[in-house]
Amino acid sequence: MPINYTFPRDFLWGASTSAHQCEGAWNEDGRGLATVDLKKMPDGISDYKKASDFYHHYKEDIKLMAEMGFKAFRMSIAWTRIYPNGDDEKPNEKGIEFYNNVIDECLKHNIEPIVTINHFDYPMHLIESYGGWRSRKAIKDYVRYCETLFSRFGKKVKYWLTMNEQSMMIVYGQSRVASLFYGTPMDTRKEVMNANHYMCVAQAMVMNLYHELRLNGKIGPAPNIVPVYAATNKPEDVLATMNYNEFRNTLYLDLLVKGEYPKALWSYLEDRNWQPDIQEGDMEILKAGKPDFIAFNYYFSETTKAFDNQNDIAEEELVSNLTFMAQKGNKPRIAEQTSNNHIPLTTSGMGIDPIGLRIDLRILADRYHLPLIITENGCGVKDTLTSDKKIHDDYRIDYLRKHIEQCAIAIHEGVDLIGYCPWSAIDLVSTGEGIEKRYGFIYVDAYDDGTGTYNRYRKDSFYWYKKVIQSNGSDLS
Ligand code: BG6
């Protein structure tokens, strides 16, 4: 049956960035030191110090987004531009001014800013004073930072995202990537679970506060959510996959939407004394803080099975037949991850699973009954700039087309999807693979060896996405 692709009339078509990955200007206008500034990249890979230089190009970039017809721009605010130390007495007016300018520029072009309050970067001073999210003290400083954002930008910004990919910050809590958000990796699982709890309590307080302020906007979390497939129909594999799913997905959204811990995961944590330190009143706060929508990032699905080699499982895992959270490498694992030969890969090795996005949408809609926005989805690969300054990225068009098709079907199936903001609006510095792993519709002429003019060029996907938006998703050709 041919699919009639219809998207809601006010659908939020746009794309995403994050402050540290695109802004550069890491030490300008009073910005304080953040964890991301100290991230050690592999040799020959760009760090975040100059990034795409959005700080000095934002007008040009937003104009290009407007040319594409963006209805929304999902961006983040760098905490250390607002509070250079994280807990300063007064905010840094230069930082406030910069984001006022960016927001005004969006509004001038009828682009709705969707603002992530915190996208991985964290003030170093707070790490040095009390360990950042290792401590309950982090809640107070995060809430105060949010209060400032609401009072300074609350009249203009109608969509707020409390935190980017808390799920990844927890899954990778003890790995090297963790230095991005915690300064150094966490030492113990208990510490990771405490950080998760404090982050959820803080976000619940902020969602509550935002609603009390009656600013006439909406607020919600932005985790990374993956559909997890069982590798086989062996009951042990299905059970291990369910367990992994609780750790990988439901832990965050059950806390943030329903105000409760997933039960099997909780009993597993308790068995090992890894459960977080819950104080009196925390669960009431969690119950009271309600999101208006769920934003989520989707790149690929995962496939898991039960560990069949006991040597893969840390000693303590053997006491339970819930074989999850075994430590393998430096990433905690609940079940063994396996490949899925039904899923093709991008040239950078990432799975391409558009149906997985639809599965995510269906699961989230069924479990949480809230409007959904996709705030990341995309294809990060090397692009070639031709001598006549063109970028023929048909692979990216193909990737996005297939994912948008699945969004259309999900909407047809009843999912309340209100926006699609793939990663990324412009090329920017990836988590660990530099600026040449490109995701943008707009090419930034910058390279990992530090060269480049920083000129902007429209990729083929730019023109294609413009047509998609113009037709409100009915023309994906
Ligand atoms: C998401 C993050 O996990 O994936 C982004 O929110 C990140 O910050 C994106 O850039 C793509 O991953 P990577 O590793 O290719 O940059």
Among the listed residues 195, 181, 192, 187, the one whose alpha carbon sits nearest the alpha carbon of residue 34: 181
pLDDT tens per residue across span 137-148? 999 999 999 999
Strand order in the sheet with 159-164: 218-222, 159-164, 112-116, 72-76, 12-16, 417-420, 372-376, 294-297
pLDDT tens per residue across span 63-115? 999 999 999 999 999 999 999 999 999 999 999 999 999 999 999 999 999 99
Residue 296 Cα to ligand 1 midpoint, Å, equals 13
Closest ligand 1 atom, CA of 380? Answer: 15
Residue 323 Cα to ligand 1 midpoint, Å, equals 28
Task: Kindly give, in sequence order, each residue whose CB lies less than 8 Å from that of residue 76, ignoring residues fewer than 6 positions away.
Answer: 17, 18, 19, 115, 116, 117, 118, 119, 164
76, 430, 433, 448, best to mutate for ligand 1 pocket (most atoms within 8 Å of CB): 430
CA distance linking residue 264 with residue 50, whole number of Å: 45
Residue 32 Cα to ligand 1 midpoint, Å, equals 23
pLDDT higher than threshold 80 for residue 352: yes
Closest ligand 1 atom, CA of 120? Answer: 8
Ligand 1 surroundings by CB, under 6 angstroms: 18, 21, 164-165, 168, 224, 297, 376, 380, 423, 430-433, 437
Neighbours of 188 (CB within 10 A): 11
Q: Which two tokens stand for residue 442?
A: 């707009």
List 165, 191, 246, 436, catalytic entry: 165
pLDDT tens per residue across span 423-463? 999 999 999 899 999 999 999 999 999 999 999 999 999 99
pLDDT higher than threshold 60 for residue 406: yes
Asked if the bond preceding 424 is cis, omega within 30° of 0, the reply is: yes
Yes or no: say if 301 and 358 are a contact pair by the CB < 8 Å rule: no
Closest ligand 1 atom, CA of 168? Answer: 3
- Residue 145 amino acid letter: Y
What's residue 171's pLDDT?
Answer: 87
Is the Cα torsion angle 247, 258, 78, 80 positive or negative in sign?
A: negative
Q: What is the mean pLDDT of residues 217-239?
A: 95
Catalytic residue status for 376: yes
CA distance linking residue 427 with residue 456, whole number of Å: 9
What's residue 162's pLDDT?
Answer: 98
Catalytic residue status for 128: no
pLDDT higher than threshold 60 for residue 125: yes
What's residue 163's pLDDT?
Answer: 98
Residue 228 Cα to ligand 1 midpoint, Å, equals 19
Q: What is the mean pLDDT of residues 319-336?
A: 45
What's residue 326's pLDDT?
Answer: 39
pLDDT higher than threshold 70 for residue 15: yes
pLDDT higher than threshold 80 for residue 255: yes
What's residue 41's pLDDT?
Answer: 87
Q: Which residue's CA lies nearest to atom 16 of ligand 1? A: 430
Confidence of residue 2 (pLDDT cuts 50, 70, 90): low
Q: Is 384 exposed, middle or buried (0-12, 13-18, 19+ CB in 10 A)?
A: exposed
Confidence of residue 330 (pLDDT cuts 50, 70, 90): very low
Q: What is the mean pLDDT of residues 259-282?
A: 92
Distant-in-sequence contacts of 326-330, Cβ < 8 A, 24+ apart: 327/174, 329/175, 330/174, 330/175, 330/176, 330/185
What's residue 309's pLDDT?
Answer: 59
36, 45, 423, best to mutate for ligand 1 pocket (most atoms within 8 Å of CB): 423
CA distance linking residue 302 with residue 224, whole number of Å: 12
Residue 277 Cα to ligand 1 midpoint, Å, equals 30
pTM of the complete model:
0.95
Confidence of residue 40 (pLDDT cuts 50, 70, 90): confident
Q: How far is CA 92 from CA 82, 139, 146, in A?
A: 5, 21, 14
pLDDT higher than threshold 80 for residue 5: no
Average of per-residue pLDDT values in the chain: 92
Q: 337 has which bridge partners?
A: 304
pLDDT higher than threshold 80 for residue 363: yes
